Amino acid sequence: MGETIVRRSVCAIVTLIVLSGGAPRLAGQLDPALVRARCEVVHQIENQSIIYGAIIDGRSGMPLPGSRVHLEWNARGEGGAMFQNRVAADSEDGGYIFCDVPQGTRLTAWADALGLTSPRVAFVLEGGETVREDLNVILQQALGAVSGFLIDDSTEQPIGGATIRIARAAAEDVTDSNGGFRLVDVPVGPHEVVIRHIAYGEPTMDLVVDQAMSTHAVIRLEPRAIAVEPIAVTITARRKWLEDNEFYHRLERQLGSFVTPEEVDRQPHRTLAEVLRTIPAINLRQRCFPHCQVQIEMAGSTMRGCIPTFYVDGRRVHQLTDPDDAMIDLDTLAVGPEIAAVEVYRGVSESPPQFYGRCGSIVIWTRRGLR
């Protein structure tokens, strides 16, 4: 089963089971039923509470072997004196299970891997709860940028409206009227650049991104028509409320992530949390004890415990409930099925001036404004 470490205190006996058997089997080992069965083998205790999960790379989602996982809580000793308890052990394959954890008190879990530390996650568990929490360690990765121009090799004219994409990174841009483009947050190293334009086909090229400088490229293309399916044009009337507030202007510039009114209408009556979960730029984790709150971080952010600023119908309504936990109660925003559209900006560099947010910003437009 792997290494088992037991730490005793006046309030509880906590067993940390460190999983073994190889990283490819980790998902199966973290099956909730199997987790509880393992703990019941160690402790013949009814209604014991359990915390388990994986220590993973926050970028790739892969388990991190050789991590160290911690659980900490406060307890009262003889005479009512408060003292701190902690259990910790090394995880060879990136999985952990805490059996028979203290109930009705605040618990804090975190992990260390490759000299870096995950955000601390807080729990309060009651009898019989089994909670999975994967601990994300954001591994540092060298990033660079690519900029340049796209030019017709025959006419020397700039090529606008072409899509430039790095195949191995989430970096994409559309050339402007001068043929210019810029790709940011590109991992250092060799890459394949994919270009797509209806008049030039879909050529590719190789380049190397250097950490010390912004890679500049002047790309020359020869016209090459490609076969396309018949084009169907759909004309959609724009919502005046959103038009007046420049929603569509920002949508066309694609500086952030957007949920349009048409996308909302396809699945109406969703909660704000459900809508936010559809946006890749957001990492959202929900806690529902004693009431539902969520921890929201922008994907790829290195600012731990820093939640984005919320705007509703253009007004800032930042509802941070506990700065220590960086948790927010989305119900306090009172939007629910009134959601008409959403804009998400990951940081200051993306955010329009009117929607500034040090940790990014989430702009919610409601149907109340459309009436």
* Two tokens, residue 288: 């529902």
Tell me what pLDDT residue 332 has.
Answer: 66
Is the pLDDT confidence value at 249 over 80?
yes
| d(C-alpha 114, C-alpha 249), whole Å | 43
**Peptide bond between residue 352 and the one before it cis (omega within 30 degrees of 0):** no
pLDDT, tens digit, 9 for 90 and up, residues 66-76: 889 999 988 77
Tell me what pLDDT residue 15 has.
Answer: 63
Tell me what pLDDT residue 65 has.
Answer: 83
Cα–Cα nearest to 100, from 85, 110, 111? 85
| d(C-alpha 355, C-alpha 260), whole Å | 18
Query: Residue 140: pLDDT band by 50, 70, 90 thresholds?
Result: low
Strands 106-113 and 67-76: antiparallel
Tell me what pLDDT residue 10 has.
Answer: 32
The pLDDT of 305-313, averaged and rounded, is: 83
Is the pLDDT confidence value at 189 over 80?
no
The two most distant CA atoms of the chain are separated, in Å, by 87
Query: Residue 334: pLDDT band by 50, 70, 90 thresholds?
Result: low
Is the pLDDT confidence value at 250 over 50?
yes
Is the pLDDT confidence value at 6 over 60?
no
Tell me what pLDDT residue 258 has.
Answer: 92
Tell me what pLDDT residue 216 has.
Answer: 85
Phi (first) and psi of residue 52, to 5 degrees? -150, 170
Tell me what pLDDT residue 139 has.
Answer: 67
Query: Residue 340: pLDDT band by 50, 70, 90 thresholds?
Result: confident
Tell me what pLDDT residue 282 has.
Answer: 82
Is the pLDDT confidence value at 132 over 80?
yes
Strands 204-209 and 189-196: antiparallel
**What share of the chain has pLDDT > 90, as a percent?**
12
DSSP 320: E
Please indicate whether residue 289 or residue 251 has the higher confidence score (pLDDT).
Answer: 251
* Two tokens, residue 260: 């349009």
Query: Residue 14: pLDDT band by 50, 70, 90 thresholds?
Result: low
Question: Is the separation of the CB atoms in 239 and 262 below 8 Å?
Answer: no
Tell me what pLDDT residue 8 has.
Answer: 33
Tell me what pLDDT residue 21 has.
Answer: 39
Question: Is the separation of the CB atoms in 44 and 25 below 8 Å?
Answer: no
Is the pLDDT confidence value at 220 over 80?
yes
In terms of C-beta distances under 8 Å and separation of at least 24 residues, what long-range contacts does 329-337 make, across chains too?
Answer: 329/291, 329/292, 329/293, 329/294, 330/271, 330/272, 330/273, 330/292, 330/293, 330/294, 331/292, 333/272, 333/364, 335/272, 335/364, 335/366, 336/271, 336/272, 337/268, 337/269, 337/270
| d(C-alpha 212, C-alpha 56), whole Å | 29
